[in-house]
Structure 1
Amino acid sequence: MRKTIISIVSALGLLLLVSQFVISCTTIDASHEGIKVSKIGSDRGASDIENVTGWVFYNPLTSFIEQYPTFTQTKDYDPFTVSAKGGTLFKIDPTLNYHLVKGQGASVYRKYRKELPDIENNILRTIVYNSYRDVANTFTPDSLVNNRVSFEDQVEAKLQKALVNDGFAFENITSNLTPPESLQAMIDAKNTAVQNALRLNNQVAAEKASAEIAVTKASGIARAKIIEAEAEARANELKQKTLTPMLIQQQWIAKWNGSLPTTQLGSSSTMIQMPIK
């Protein structure tokens, strides 16, 4: 029995001694951030963490290497619902683009002690859901449908702040906001009524404008005729004032061709005498 115990202790001691010389090596790609985590000690990885790059040598019995990508990550989450004011439910089908802030890998691991897929499916999903829920609850159903840009801007602002606190950088997100079918039908009917009213108003305005143009045109024609008649009357008046008996006789003489009349006028005179006033 004693020999057995001595053998076991010796074997453990030998294993521990050999383990000090067992070295593994791995390469941290430029698009990743490496984290070397200790397996031993009272904290077992909570404090003994360091960022590593390039070729890394480590003892797999006492430590391990975790790698987080630093390039853009795209996570398409399953749809969920959030409620607007009054309790109307809207479906959100989000796709998040983000990346790890360089130098924050150790902090992320120390805080969550999870691989990136686990962080995405749990921590980040909760952040995304809470951001949509909090913002949606500040909108009425109608305003949420009609002000989607403002809604998404506010969601993005909350996400950006929440993610940077966890060592991640927000890039963008698509919401794919979908209202209930009944609400969408009501909104479509309302929009159709508004469009029809605008079309009728535009038609009435166009017809009114056409009528005013016609009246203006007719008034212009009538005014032109009045002006023309007044001008003609004025011209005739001036002609009457200038047609004196002497002027008429002179015009008659100017047009006479010198031939005497062949018809007896009952007088010996061949010249028609014009009375002179």
Structure 2
Amino acid sequence: MSKMRLIIWGAVLLLAGLFLVNSCTTVDASHEGIKVSKIGSDRGASDIENVTGWIFYNPLTSFIEQYPTFTQTKDFDPFQVSAKGGTLFKIDPTLNYHLVKGQGANVYRKYRKELPDIENNILRTIVYNSYRDVANSFSPDSLVNNRAGFEEQVEAKLRKALGDDGFSFENITSGLMPPESLQAMIDAKNTAVQNALRLNNQIASEKASAEIAVTKANGIARAKVIEAEAEARANELKQKTLTPMLIQQQWISKWNGQLPTTQLGANSSTLIQMPVK
């Protein structure tokens, strides 16, 4: 009989230990814990409390749901939205967000889902609707050429929609891609613009080179004119200064005193007649 009692007490203690293990958990500072009652048809939607640290609860009547409060990165599957006129653009978004502290109870009360389920359903719908609504207000060309403005409007809608649900928007990358036909047109247009700019630059360069050559030629011609004018002026001055007396003096200074050996005419003279004073 005593042996049976020991077995019974051992089983009771084991069950009690298992119960205690399953009725205790901890919520660290990077999460927000929510204690939810299982009692009632509402599953305790009106009886939810935020909890932190070590939590003891009755697993038969309640449970603990935890939501992280640090930054979450969700890479959604790509989807398509249409611009004005029906042109389809591909969006491949990646969202960074976090739960606002103190909003865990409201999030659970509203959706009664774990965070992965909320991301794959609720948040995806919010992201899709934001892109769809904004894209419908842009023409295809403006959507491509004013991508920054498009994304700013999307972010504004996401910031409000997520804030209404207890989440804080941080940033999002759109991964916006136009259809292949439109992208080909854009590439061709960009190529044409680049070629035009290159041609204009080449023309401007050649024009500048031609102007430099003309300027240089004009400078050379002007220099020659100035040089010719200077030489003519010098010759004119020389003519004015070459008096007969000066010429005779220069001849005498260069004469070596020898008479010429060639027979001159009868009237010729080898000496310069000095003027008589």
Report the Cα offset of residue 116 of structure 1.
1.0
**Mapped partners of 2:276, 2:199: distance in 1:** 76
Counterpart Cα distance in 1 of 2:259 and 2:76: 122
Distance 2:226 2:133 in 1: 75
**Secondary structure at 1:163 match in 2:** helix
* Matched pairs, number: 258
| Pairs within 5 Å for 1:65-76 | 65-76=64-75
Which position in structure 2 is the counterpart of 1:250? 249
The aligned residue for residue 86 of structure 1 is 85
Letter in 2 for 1:151: F
**Are the equivalent residues in 1 in contact too, given 2:248–2:272 (CA < 8 A)?**
no
Q: Which residue of 2 aligns with 1:57?
A: 56
Partner of 1:208: 207
Q: How much does 1:22 deviate?
A: 7.7
Q: Provide, for residues 82-103 of structure 1, a one-character-per-residue CA deviation record: whole Å limited to 9, x for no partner.
A: 1111111111121212111222
Give, in whole Å, the separation in 2 of the partners of 1:187 and 1:89.
15
Alpha-carbon shift at residue 255 of structure 1 (Å) = 2.4
Give the distance between the partners of 1:200 and 1:269, measured in 2 at CA: 80
Cα gap change, 1:196 to 1:274, in 2 (>3 Å): farther
Provide, for residues 129-171 of structure 1, a one-character-per-residue CA deviation record: whole Å limited to 9, x for no partner: 1111122122210121222233223222321232222221222
- Structure 1 letter corresponding to 2:242: L
For residues 70 and 255 of structure 1, do their structure 2 counterparts lie closer, same or farther at Cα, with a shift above 3 Å needed? same
1 CA distance for matches of 2:30 and 2:256?
119
User: Structure 2: how far apart are the matches of 1:51 and 1:75?
Assistant: 25
In the alignment, structure 1 residue 129 sits paired with structure 2 residue 128? yes
Question: How far apart are the structure 2 equivalents of 1:121 and 1:60?
Answer: 28
> Percent of counterpart pairs with the same letter?
89
For residues 160-188 of structure 1, the C-alpha deviation after alignment (integer angstroms, 9 at most, x for no partner) is 23222222122222212121122122222
C-alpha distance in 1 between matches for 2:268 and 2:230: 46
CA 1:229/1:274 → structure 2, altered by over 3 Å: closer, same or farther? farther
Q: 2:155 touches 2:171 (CA, 8 Å); kept in 1? A: yes
Contact 2:83–2:135 under 8 Å retained in 1: yes
- Alignment correspondent of 1:149: 148
Correspondence for 2:139: 140
* Partner residue, 1:10: none
Q: For structure 1, which runs of at least 5 residues remain unmatched after alignment?
A: 1-17
SS of corresponding position for 2:156:
helix
Kept after mapping to 2: 8 A contact 1:245/1:274: no
Task: Look up the match of 2:273.
Answer: 273
Corresponding position of 2:114:
115
Q: Match for residue 227 of structure 2?
A: 228
- In structure 2, C-alpha distance between the alignment counterparts of 1:268 and 1:194, rounded to whole Å: 89
State the alpha-carbon separation in 1 of the partners of residues 270 and 20 from structure 2.
Answer: 158
* Residues 69-125 of structure 1: per-residue CA shift (max 9 Å, x gap): 112222222221111111111111212121112222122222322221221122211
Give the Cα separation in 1 of the matches to 2:52 and 2:169. 24
**1:146–1:275 Cα change, 3 Å:** farther
Aligned equivalents of 2:211, 2:100: Cα separation in 1: 68
Alignment gaps of 5+ in structure 2: 1-15
CA separation in 1, counterparts of 2:276 and 2:167? 119
Q: Structure 1 CA distance, aligned partners of 2:255 and 2:108?
A: 128
In 2, the alpha carbon distance for the partners of 1:159 and 1:30 equals 27
Shift of 1:51: 1.4
Matched, 1:197 2:191: no
Distance 1:263 1:200 in 2: 78
2:196 equivalent to 1:180: no
